[in-house]
Structure 1
Amino acid sequence: MSFAPADLMNYALMGAFAITALSQIMAVIRLWIGPSTADRILALDTMVINAIGLIVLLGIYQGTQIYFEATLIIAMLGFVSTIAYARFVLRGDIIE
């Protein structure tokens, strides 16, 4: 029994979707039950990274390039929001 390369690519993409979705669910659980604020900040950052991964996988699956540009914007916004939230927690103010 042999598989065509397209079939293997589809199986790999579906597996990657499943693993990334499971990782996203685990990050939501950590966000929900995180005992400290630092755990919640890391969970939010992990959720941004997982969302980026899901969007990239969707772009690969559909064969379009517009999703890759969207992931760059989401990555920049996720980084800035993580830094802002961490500064707010540590100092009580975002802008000094």
Structure 2
Amino acid sequence: MNTTALLDMTVTGALGVACLALLLCLWRLVFGPTVSDRILALDTLSVTAIAVLMLWGMQLDSTVYFEAALVIAMLGFGSTVVLSKFVLRRDIVE
């Protein structure tokens, strides 16, 4: 077995595990008992989506997915900060 086949199998396995993590985060986002659980699930969902995009980009040898992962990282961080601030103060703009 050569190294490229082993790398392809590893990336495919990691992609499957990351997709399962996406489904579990989505379940927590929908059925979370508290608002803080849902915010944490949304943040974890964005991090897991970044991992899926990076792995998919590795599997397809395309750099477009890496740029999309960067955009999701920026949006995920911003949305987590805004939602957390809203939950704490019930106001976004001071």
TM-score (norm: length of structure 2): 0.93
Corresponding letter in the other structure for 2:76: G
Corresponding letter in the other structure for 1:87: K
**Residue number in structure 2 paired with 1:51:** 49
Unaligned runs of 5+ residues in structure 2 are: none
What SS does the aligned partner of 1:95 have? coil
1:66 Cα shift?
A: 2.2
Answering whether residue 87 of structure 2 is matched by residue 89 of structure 1, we say yes
When the two chains are superposed, the root-mean-square deviation of aligned CA atoms in Å is: 1.0
What SS does the aligned partner of 1:14 have? helix
1:1-96 mapped onto 2 (5 Å cutoff): 3-96=1-94
Question: Per-residue displacement from partner, 1:41-96 (whole Å, max 9, x unpaired)?
Answer: 00000110111111101111111222212211210111001110111111111111
TM-score (norm: length of structure 1): 0.92
Give the percent of matched residue pairs that are identical in Structure 1 and Structure 2: 43
What SS does the aligned partner of 2:91 have? coil
Corresponding letter in the other structure for 1:45: D
Q: Which runs of 4+ in 1 moved over 6 A?
A: none
